[in-house]
Amino acid sequence: MKQTILVTGGTGFIGSHTSVELIEAGYNVVIIDNLSNSKMEVVDGIEKITGVRPAFENVDLRDKEATEGVFKKYPGIAGIIHFAASKAVGESVQKPLLYYRNNIVSLVNLLELMPKYNVKGIIFSSSCTVYGQPKPENLPVTEDAPHQKATSPYGNTKEINEQIIYDYIHSGANIKSIILRYFNPIGAHPSALIGELPNGVPANLIPYVTQTAMGIREQLTIFGNDYPTPDGTCIRDYIHVADLAKAHVAAMRRVLDEETEPIEYFNIGTGRGNSTLEIVETFEKATGVKVNWKYGPRREGDIVKIWGDCTKANKVLGWKAETPLEDVLRSAWKWQLKLREDGVM
């Protein structure tokens, strides 16, 4: 019998790609999303790719009664993949309580409901932000690298939620969890039927690059070119969102079907760092499209360089990020072209 997986935030960027991979791996998918940062049409895209329309519930996870209604409506949910969260670093500094309420209350409600409805496992989407700026000797960062104090309320909610899951399992709760710490997810599904659709001015590099290339934004600013890196710009570990999605399927399988420790942690990245300048230049090379860009001053709160050691995920989950950077950037451009074709932007 097919196992049913609840995907919170399933119409978002990473959630939608993971829903596709789960369906293609043979799971039933139920999506919960309040559409605060995504659109209902994403469900159509998932259906077009997979031939299966996932169940969809427009529910705010802060509302425990409404959330419990989903567990009652879909008995036999085996696992949860929890993406739903507010995620703009800058906004979290302006509206900290909104972020604490959204990101923490939603998790607590889900954890409380899990034993009651015999839900065995939860995959939590955490972030490499928990590592802060690693010391040079800790690069690439392993799962055992020390955590630094978060530089934003958003980052802090990831750290707090990791602790909440640990404390709950430590207290004897009969659930299991895998915490995935992502690096920088980019790109779009090769079909260009789903992708990253930010509201307003993009806070992330790749949508800003593609929108500038399209002429929606006048110019891209690379913040800082005097960092202690080979070309002076910041370094990140950019991972294709479709590769990242596959890691969730591997993690879900491990939690549900294998005898493992009740809580495990994995870095999910490529194991390589690329600079902001390299990304822009590789995008131009991959697409043949020029990007109008300039250097600007450093941006407060930016980490200088981070990339992950993903050996543990490679070995234990049997998963590896495989898509070459040029292909990833090409997929992002294909998605931007599709948005233009559809009259979205």
Catalytic center residues = 154
> In this structure, which amino acid lies at residue 93?
V
| CB hemisphere CA count around 280 (13 angstroms) | 25
- Interior angle at CA 332, CA 303 and CA 87, nearest 5: 45
Which residues, in sequence order, are CB contacts of 282 under 8 Å at separation 6+? 274, 325, 326, 329
Q: Which of 166, 155, 31 is nearest to 103 (CA)?
A: 155
Give whole-number Cα distances, 215 to 151, 293, 324, in Å: 33, 12, 26
DSSP of 111-162, one letter per residue?
Answer: HHHHHHTT--EEEEEEEGGGG-S--GGGPSBPTTSPP---SSHHHHHHHHHH
Contact 18, 249 (CB under 8 A): yes
| 46: its two tokens | 């998932």
The whole-angstrom distance between residue 334's C-alpha and the CA centroid of its chain comes to: 20
Give whole-number Cα distances, 244 to 14, 269, 270, 297, in Å: 8, 8, 10, 31
- As a whole number of angstroms, the distance between CA 243 and CA 269 comes to 9
Which residues, in sequence order, are CB contacts of 72 under 8 Å at separation 6+? none
